[in-house]
A and B are shown apart, each in its own frame.
Chain A
């Protein structure tokens, strides 16, 4: 069953390819031009495109985040039913992506949110799994959704640039392993608005320190940052600023690279004294805080044990 055929109403897939000014909570997102591609908008039409096994998939308005309805994945855990060889099986939702929609390599993120209800009072360690089917035999991306909690929305933002072979994403799956549950458990997942997004101009979406503590002999501080919207031919730079007691002690300019990358900020130009340093990145007038790092004395300074 195809996710979308040319005469299907789901050609809305194409019409929903939009350029938007996406305003989000994080400063880095504000007023940044983005392009989105909707994969599932939560409608009944979209729900019918999922191939279901040992579960049901419908459009439902009980829990919604962005639209009027969301994809509702309902499971009655049954250890005696299911496939003959695997009565304790894997209830699942699958969707196939049509060939002309399979190239996700130019998108930055896959976004959706999930809400959970259950007859249980708590969820097992791996409540739900997610897979992408990618080009190449047995190639795939798997992600356990360990963060889910009953009665809460959890937002997922999967960085596509870090997944290989997204140039041919042939399908997607949500699944549970019944062995993680008790026989008779009831589970309901609402999956809200599955979309692909990409940035159209340089932006730093996330930044964090790879370390929380360093010694004073460290040659550099490492910042892991996600930058998007950077064309290969363009040259975008950002300032990495270290402050101690709110006073700047180092500013280094480094070129930005598309995707998630490690930026080593050399410390040779500053006096390295123990303390707590704040590190931020400024680019195009926007500031992204990377975090605070503690510097302690070096093991290689004889007098400062």
Chain B
């Protein structure tokens, strides 16, 4: 407290050797708690013997409020960064993973009791550590200006957002006002860190009720309501299903709407949803510009106030993209196989603003056969402000990105709006040419109709059993494990199911996971505190969705390193690493054996052990990696290393790597095939350049990477970073140390795809077309001369396509096939599949004169 007379002391008498003791100090018993300046721990050497060694591990230090269950403010997260903020005397303070309760490390207060050293007058002294609170310990969320690591904060804040009332109890907001009708803006959310929590509550005013849901923190929701305060009391009720989190309420009467919008709501929303004005000055808009002129606008479009155009779904349509003449007045045509998903897109460009536009698709009909409109997913492409690359600062562009669930929405004058429809062909659909139409109806003007031709092919695509489409994954089951209330647990469990279903629908058959645990305790060598039951739950889901092994499992090698070397955890890419003592490798081997024994006992699929992510080629890092990989292999298990073996700096690792995972398609196909033929080794690829680590625009590059490019490479598995990762506010890419990665989440936990995720699926489908044809060719080679000729023709065209691929380590933007060209090659493959299938079944082709005549 500012006044020393108002400090608070608590002897921690409950401490026992070898046990965690939880302390929960009621703050309402403290005076002057509104301004806490410092906290500290100390011991009195007089209570110990000279020569004693004492170690205390202190977990996260947090403040909680509102019924003890809500919104903790983390005073110290026990990280290495935090450890440095403590000032120790006659002791040391480090971040350490030997004993942890939450997070990866604890604060370790280490004391060598020494009755002869210390302060001159007090050799038997008071070893201690203390740290100051950054701005006094007022109970509020962190302001964005208080993050001092040189990177943007996880969320942009304003004073209104920096404090929230959070509770699991129904509450009422009540304000005395001049009697009358009011409008209310309720700012919901949290600008501090809170993981594994689902907020779910109703906001009620009179008969009006709105449900608010969001997970974790660092995000806001804006609720607008009518409030009847005829009796002079404006009341708003908050009814939590789990917790509610309210930052503030603004009330105003209709007559003040203009000024409130302009002077209160707009400036605050600019901060919470975009950037504070002083930060905005540092950022430059770098918007891609079309240089070609506008095509001549048809008179009817001019009269209606809008036009419709169509670019291929893999092309980015920015708010300011100018169509070409050939893209106007579109007809949507596409084809798909049984059970396949296929995207259809179109764009509306309004010449003036419209309050709303509705989009409807009819049933798609082929004679008596119908693909119901209700099974066609309609989404609107949402623009987001994105950095050119995920860590770049102070430059942004407005990019088409998230495919939001459709709802009627306004059209902004001269800003393109793209709609994204996905047809899921029923498994039992009758092949044929299905016809229908999309109707686009902006309010107050004539609607537009876009004809649709959708051809269903009599093809069942096959998956190549030797290839795996995977993805890195932050599993909601980890949050399920940590969540403290039932609504949150139910939310994360459901989210996990929805995400797995979404992955399966996109071709994903493998995700990364981890078995993280602290190093072994001194008295229990070979025993590690690892949550295998959580892994059991993950494996159960893995089996339920027919995922394909092996499973990449991250392990805490760095924790063992920190323990055994007495040093901090290494930085990214093993920065600052040094040669560990031999005990490091021995304990790592024991950890791998411990995990492997449990894997075998439980009958789990094969694991690939993943001790370090993206090591550098620095000599110290390579030496450490050699020790690490040897230690993992000594346990009789396989190693997985994210490094590019075509970089010669990694050559010393080669004998110890079972699976290389590289970001580009390097080494070349020829080198990979030769290496695989010579020894047991595998090559996986994590093409982050077309997944999360970009501005979400290399959509066409993503399709090429996952489809024809994958086919042309020698790699067996694609496993990009990452299905979804939030870095701060998930709806603002201009905050956080990096952009948020890839797919987003609906408020209720359903996944929201980004365009590149759909490109992943289209690549997966491209590959399935190729593989299906390859299997048919192989079979047809044993057929009669006519069938063999068909196989030769198909093979010649496959070779033609193979030769059209301009092989690149990274298919991103440059020198790719034009988006529609990939469709042409897919069709070329499909047409050969049809011919070979036809010959295989010896069915007469449906070309007879009578059949056609009768079908008219």
Contacts and interface: CB of A to CB of B under 8 A. Distances in A.
Query: Is this pair of chains taken from one and the same complex?
Result: yes
Interface in B788-845: 804, 809, 817-818, 820-821, 824-825, 827-828, 830-831, 834-835, 845
Contact of B325 (A212, A261, A266, A300): A266
Nearest to B824: A213
B326 A264 contact: yes
Contact of A262 (B292, B648, B820): B292
B821 A182 contact: no
Nearest to A257: B292
B292 A300 contact: no
B618 A88 contact: yes
Interface in B266-324: 282, 284, 286, 291-293, 324
Contacts of A300: 333, 335, 433, 453, 455
Nearest to A146: B809
Interface in A261-285: 261-262, 264, 266
Contacts of B617: 88, 179
A179 B292 contact: no
Contacts of B327: 264
Contacts of A164: 286
Interface in A116-146: 124-125, 136-139
A215 B824 contact: yes
A300 B616 CA distance: 52
Contacts of A218: 820
Interface stretch (B18-26, B392-400, B440-448): B392-400
A99 interface: no
A299 B335 contact: yes
Interface string B615-652: 01111000000000000000000000000001111000
B847 interface: yes
Interface residues of B, number: 46
Given A124-B648, A180-B647, A264 B324 contact: yes
B251 interface: no
Interface string A206-223: 000011111101111010
Nearest to A161: B291
Nearest to B392: A138
Contacts of B511: none
A296 interface: yes
Contacts of B325: 264, 266
B286 A259 contact: no
A34 B259 CA distance: 58
Given A164-B286, A211-B818, A303-B847, A219 B326 contact: yes
A13 interface: no
A213 B821 contact: yes
A261 B835 CA distance: 39
A258 interface: yes
B824 A297 contact: no
Interface string A195-207: 0000000000000
Given A124-B647, A211-B817, A264-B326, A138 B394 contact: yes
Nearest to A179: B617
B826 to A, nearest CB: 9
A261 B292 contact: yes
A261 B333 CA distance: 26
A171 to B, nearest CB: 18
A14 B393 CA distance: 37
A25 B577 CA distance: 55
A211 B823 CA distance: 11
Contacts of B324: 220, 262, 264
A134 to B, nearest CB: 11
A17 B275 CA distance: 45
A137 B818 contact: no
Contacts of B392: 138
B477 interface: no
Contact of A138 (B292, B335, B395, B664): B395
Given A138-B393, A182-B648, A299 B827 contact: yes
B693 to A, nearest CB: 16
A303 B847 CA distance: 7
Contacts of A222: 818
A264 B824 CA distance: 18
A79 interface: yes
Nearest to A260: B291
A302 interface: yes
Contacts of B247: none
A34 to B, nearest CB: 22
A297 B831 contact: yes
A296 B826 CA distance: 12
A6 interface: no
B666 A125 contact: yes
B649 A258 contact: no
A300 B327 CA distance: 18
Contacts of B284: 136-137, 139
B150 to A, nearest CB: 14
A159 to B, nearest CB: 12
Contact of B828 (A88, A181, A213, A264): A213
B818 A259 contact: no
Contacts of A210: 818, 821
B796 to A, nearest CB: 13
A261 B648 contact: no
A296 B796 CA distance: 14
A305 interface: yes
A244 B324 CA distance: 25
Contacts of B666: 125
A245 B666 CA distance: 41
B364 to A, nearest CB: 14
A213 B284 CA distance: 40
- Please indicate which of the listed interface residues A88, A213, A296 has the most CB atoms of chain B within 10 Å of its own CB: A213
Nearest to A213: B824
Interface in A213-235: 213-215, 217-220, 222
A144 to B, nearest CB: 10
Contact of A125 (B335, B646, B818, B830): B646
Interface in A153-199: 164, 179-182
Nearest to B666: A125
Interface string A285-305: 000000000001101101101
Given A137-B284, A217-B333, A305 B831 contact: yes
A139 B395 contact: yes
Contacts of B333: 217, 299-300
A125 B335 CA distance: 39
B652 to A, nearest CB: 12
Contact of B809 (A88, A125, A212): A125
Nearest to A220: B326
Contacts of A125: 646, 664, 666, 809
A258 B291 contact: yes
A289 to B, nearest CB: 19
B834 A305 contact: yes
A80 to B, nearest CB: 9
Given A211-B821, A264-B326, A257 B455 contact: no
Nearest to B295: A264
B822 to A, nearest CB: 10
Contacts of B817: 211-212
Given A88-B618, A266-B326, 8 more contacts: A138-B395, A164-B286, A213-B821, A219-B326, A220-B324, A262-B292, A303-B847, A305-B831
26 contacts: A88-B618, A124-B646, A125-B666, A136-B284, A136-B395, A139-B395, A179-B617, A179-B649, A180-B647, A182-B649, A211-B817, A212-B817, A213-B821, A215-B827, A217-B333, A219-B326, A222-B818, A257-B293, A264-B325, A266-B325, A266-B326, A296-B831, A299-B831, A300-B335, A300-B433, A305-B835
| Nearest 5 CB-CB pairings of A with B | A220-B326, A211-B821, A264-B326, A210-B818, A211-B818
Interface of B: 282, 284, 286, 291-293, 324-327, 333, 335, 392-395, 433, 453, 455, 616-619, 646-649, 664, 666, 804, 809, 817-818, 820-821, 824-825, 827-828, 830-831, 834-835, 845, 847, 852
